[in-house]
Amino acid sequence: MSKVAAPPRSPRSEQLYREAIEVMPGGSSRATIFYAPYPLYAASAQGCRVTDVDGVERIDFVNNMSSLIHGHNHPVVNAAVKAQLDRLTAVAMPTESEIALAQELCQRLASVDRVVFTNSGTEAVMMAIRAARAYSGRSAVAKAEGAYHGAYDFAEVSVNSSPETWGRAEAPSAVSATEGIPGYVNEDVIVIPYNDLEATEALIEANRDRLACIVIDPVVSRAGLIRGRPEYLARLRELCDAYGIVLIFDEVLSFRLGYNGAQGQSGIRPDLTALGKIIGGGFPVGAVAGSAKVMSVFDVRMPHVKIHHGGTYNANPITMTAGLKTLELLPPAAYARLDALGCRTKTVLTEALAEAKLHGFVRADGSLLSIFFGGQDSDRFRELPRSDRQTAMQRYLHSALLDEGIISTPFSAFILSTAMTEADIDSLGEAAARCFGALKR
Ligand code: PLP
């Protein structure tokens, strides 16, 4: 892959980026939105389209890293938010809106009796781990190799696992991804190979007396959009029950896959669920949700409340209102439509690869998709392609698609919204076909 797509020309973005790097390290507060040599700056958006600062409109297949399930500026969500803005924006008292959103989540998730809100998925995972530790009196955490659970120290271990660092397949090494995380963090994290039942079981057995929790996605996103095998998730549930380990599902992303989240599809009930993204309707949010028994560690009525869950913006009424409206606009039929759009997206992208005779494949789960170049499809993290060529192709595609009027991530993820139509999906297919065709020439 020698071809490198030129960055899309955006004189105003280039100029803004020059200003940005003078006041922010690297020019921004979000590592995931840095695209060399400069990112495109957004000016406005409507539905599934974003307009940049030079007035160029593109179809948005990122949807703010999946938090916008209805695309941008949904009229019903916006009307509710505007009314809430005029009533009350923030207050050191509870509001009705948080009860309503908590009720909606309890109604959708069979494993959930109680909910506490946070301001991000990272915080939700962090507080879920803290709750598990307080509940169990132990401190070690098991997590899947390569899985992303946000920026909390204990959740970041192994997130950038690569052949240079990953160690033995049956006992992957626990290495922190980021400088600044103390070495002892690695000692308290047991990395398990996702969907490898035998190796996982051996690791859990060996650490059963020190494990507070297993944090696992029913559908792993960053590690390759992999769904947990039914027998794998079921065995994790059994092991947790047998050894008093708290089972935490990270559904920050996967909750968008079904009316009852991915856990509803799997039929496995975790003790705790970390939520975020769509439940805030596009505003900053997270939540820890779970059984009344485990969630009692947050109960302020207890004489010795185990966890003091402070937070100036927890359950902010604007977020709660936007989240509730967003979920109300998601009856089961909305998921069926998103799934159908997902199937169509998989078809058009697969056809575009075949037409260009490019070796690659598309992984899809509901409204989430990912393209891989070379290699073979697999539901094991280490077996999916991770070559430099794959990374270079994904970056090329991201850049070339921007020129074609499509926004995707630099790691070839495509995230759908209810604002999209079949015609938008077909536009992606046609644009991808042109980009793949250019690669061949
Ligand atoms: N967990 C998963 C599975 C995620 O995908 C993310 C974010 O992408 C997080 C946790 C962290 O959420 P946030 O970015 O809101 O902190």
Interface predicted TM-score (ipTM) of this complex, two decimals: 0.99
- Residue 390 has what pLDDT? 85
CA 438 – ligand 1 centroid, Å: 34
pTM: 0.96
Atom of ligand 1 nearest to the CA of 150: 11
Name the amino acid, one letter, at 379: D
CA 61 – ligand 1 centroid, Å: 17
Angle between helices 230-243 and 197-206 (to 10 degrees): 10
* Residue among 21, 60, 118, 132 nearest 425 (CA): 60
- Residue 332 has what pLDDT? 98
Per-residue pLDDT tens digits of the chain, which is 441 residues long: 445 566 667 899 999 999 999 999 999 988 877 777 899 999 999 999 999 999 999 999 999 999 999 999 999 999 999 999 999 999 999 999 999 999 999 999 999 999 999 999 999 999 999 999 999 999 999 999 999 999 999 999 999 888 888 889 899 999 887 889 999 999 999 999 999 999 999 999 999 999 999 999 999 998 789 999 999 999 999 999 999 999 999 999 999 999 999 999 999 999 999 999 999 999 999 999 999 999 999 999 987 779 999 999 999 999 999 999 999 999 999 999 999 999 999 999 999 999 999 999 999 999 999 999 989 999 999 999 888 888 889 999 999 999 999 999 999 999 999 999 999 999 999 999 999 998 766
- What DSSP element (H or E) covers 44? strand 42-46
Q: Are 158 and 145 in contact (CB under 8 A)?
A: yes
Residue identifier of the C-alpha nearest atom 2 of ligand 1: 149
Give the CB-side neighbour count of residue 432, counting CA atoms within 13 A. 32
In sequence order, the 6+-apart residues with CB closer than 8 A to the CB of 263 are: 109, 110, 111, 218, 249, 251, 269, 270, 273
Report how far apart the first and last C-alpha atoms of the chain are (Å, whole number): 11
313 among known catalytic residues: no
Delineate the domains of the chain, giving CATH numbers in brackets. 11-73+331-440 (3.90.1150.10), 75-328 (3.40.640.10)
Residues, the chain, total?
441
* Residue among 327, 276, 316 nearest 70 (CA): 327
State the Cα–Cα distance between residues 435 and 405, nearest whole angstrom. Answer: 12
- Residue 3 has what pLDDT? 56
Q: Which of 52, 196, 217, 250 is catalytic?
A: 250
277 among known catalytic residues: yes
Say which DSSP state 363 is in. Answer: E
CA 266 to chain centre: 18
> Token pair for residue 254?
């996967």
> Token pair for residue 390?
């794959």
148 among known catalytic residues: yes
> Token pair for residue 270?
């975790």
Say which DSSP state 2 is in. Answer: -
State the Cα–Cα distance between residues 142 and 389, nearest whole angstrom. Answer: 31
* Residue among 200, 281, 212 nearest 243 (CA): 212
CA 122 – ligand 1 centroid, Å: 6
Atom of ligand 1 nearest to the CA of 125: 10
Q: Are 369 and 346 in contact (CB under 8 A)?
A: yes
* Residue among 306, 366, 376, 290 nearest 330 (CA): 366
